[in-house]
Amino acid sequence: MVDLAAISSRLAEQAIELPSWAFGNSGTRFKVFAQPGVPRDPYEKIADAAQVHRHTGLAPTVALHIPWDKVDSYADLAKRAEDHGVALGTINSNTFQDDDYKLGSVTHRDDRIRRKAIDHHFECIDIMNETGSRDLKIWLADGTNYPGQDDMRGRQDRLADSLAKIYERIGDNQRLVLEYKIFEPSFYHTDVPDWGTSYAQVSALGDRAVVCLDTGHHAPSTNIEFIVMQLLRLGKLGSFDFNSRFYADDDLIVGAADPFQLFRILVEVIRGGGYGGDGDTAFMLDQCHNIEDKIPGQIRSVLNVQEMTARALLVDTAALDAAQRAGDVLTANGLFMDAFYTDVRPALAEWRASRGLPEDPMRAYAESGYAATIVADRVGGAQAGWGA
């Protein structure tokens, strides 16, 4: 059995934010498979998210997406979240589902449409002031489908201008987090396609503007952990949207498609001072459980992150440093792989039990009867989804 004593307090620093939209129906352009018991409103989404924290102790906050999570009183929603033992987290804006934004939102040539998109972000900041959220996360679908469709330089300038107006409204204890994505729904160019563009845009704004790295938003075979290293080195890695993928932005369970990549990313997070109490990098999941049960899917996800974090914390950094200094390639790589191949699961089960948490959170949830309760209770009404 692996001894986790040396990393126990570090493990306790882990906090992973859950996306409210992971509990609603989701799918692809081909089909959205509805599931019985799915939430009908943000209150029920919060209740489901709280089940993940109850059984894992790893997910104390829930991110909201506006307008998907619109309510009359965000103060009341925050109170109810507190009653469930969780808190409201990142506020995600949405300028990708309004007809006006077909050719762009904050990058649009039309002043009225840009104004509308900026005002939406002001509304999101007002919500942050009610929920006590720190981060406004901006992901933009803005881009073009055909070469020549628009002037990319002009769009960058309008983007910078719009972000500056939004940044002015951000409070002293708040952050603007700009997420990049290589493609989709735009298929020729995306206005914020890569870490370099996000970095350039947020650097022009100020200290409270940072980059969000979604692990599903890169070209195939991108060395994502190198980007993690660089953004931490530059002090601009604000948050992660964790998920995994085999091909594109598949939004699958983090660690499911490539657990070794997740391990390599977490090694760089820890080495770069972005983990836990060290840094200022928020961990969030951004996933869609299109065919699997959603609450167990989220439980599995946070456990995957915890397991790879434990392995990354077990890297013998002193021996690794010595081998690297000596140019001893195989020993260095061997030490790295030893940590990855260390099965921490039995020890983590004990670690959970030592903290009053279920050894096997997946089984604890299954035996809790919560799934049957929500299927029985949530009859009628419109199930939550992406509203696309």
Footprint on residues 261-300 left by ligand LRH (CB under 6 A): 286
| Cα separation, 112 vs 108, whole angstroms | 9
CB of 93 to ligand LRH, least distance (A): 8
Restricted to residues 194-233, the positions that interact with ligand LRH (CB under 6 A) are 214
Cβ 342 vs Cβ 376: under 8 Å: no
Closest distance to Mn ion from the beta carbon of 286 (Å) = 4
Q: Shortest CA distance to 254 belongs to which of 291, 211, 300, 221?
A: 300
The DSSP line for 202-216 is: HHHH-TTEEEEEETT
Give the contacts of 387 (CB within 8 A, at least 6 positions apart): 67, 68, 97
Q: Does residue 142 belong to the site contacting Mn ion (CB under 5 A)?
A: no
Does 249 help bind Mn ion (rule: CB under 5 A)? no
Tell me the two tokens of residue 222: 């991108």
* 92 is a contact residue toward ligand LRH (CB under 6 A): yes
Given 48, 142, 241, 307, the residue binding Mn ion (CB under 5 A): 241
SS3 375: helix
Q: Which of 214, 251, 268, 307 binds Mn ion (CB under 5 A)?
A: 214
Phi-psi sector, 135: left (phi>0), alpha (psi -120 to 50), beta: beta
Residue list 133-152, contact with ligand LRH (CB under 6 A): 139
Q: Which among ligand LRH, Mn ion, none contacts residue 92 (Cβ within 5 to 8 A by kind)?
A: ligand LRH
Residue with smaller CB distance to ligand LRH, 177 or 314: 177
Least distance from C-beta 247 to Mn ion, angstroms? 16
Q: Nearer to ligand LRH by C-beta: 183 or 340?
A: 183
What is the total count of residues that contact Mn ion (CB under 5 A)? 3
**Do residues 106 and 142 touch, judged by C-beta distance below 8 A?**
yes
The interface with ligand LRH within residues 7-36 (CB under 6 A) comprises: 21
Q: Does 48 help bind ligand LRH (rule: CB under 6 A)?
A: no
| C-beta closer to Mn ion: residue 191 or 241 | 241
Kind of pairing between the strands at 135-139 and 16-19? unpaired
- Which residue from 286, 294, 303, 323 is in contact with Mn ion, where contact means CB under 5 A? 286
Token duo for residue 108:
């649009």
* DSSP string for 288-352: --SSS-HHHHHHHHHHHHHHHHHHHHTS-HHHHHHHHHTT-HHHHHHHHHHHHT---HHHHHHHH
The DSSP H or E segment spanning 240 is strand 237-242
- Measured from the CB atom, the residue of 5 and 388 that comes closer to ligand LRH is 388
Instruction: For residue 179, state whether it binds ligand LRH (rule: CB under 6 A).
Output: yes
Q: Minimum distance from CB of 179 to Mn ion (Å)?
A: 6
Separation of alpha carbons 280 and 262, rounded Å: 19
- Specify the residue, 180 or 199, whose C-beta has the smaller distance to ligand LRH: 180
Using rule CB under 6 A, residue 241 touches ligand LRH: yes
Q: In the complex, which residues of this chain contact Mn ion (CB under 5 A)?
A: 214, 241, 286
Q: In the complex, which residues of this chain contact ligand LRH (CB under 6 A)?
A: 21, 92, 139, 179, 181, 214, 241, 249, 286
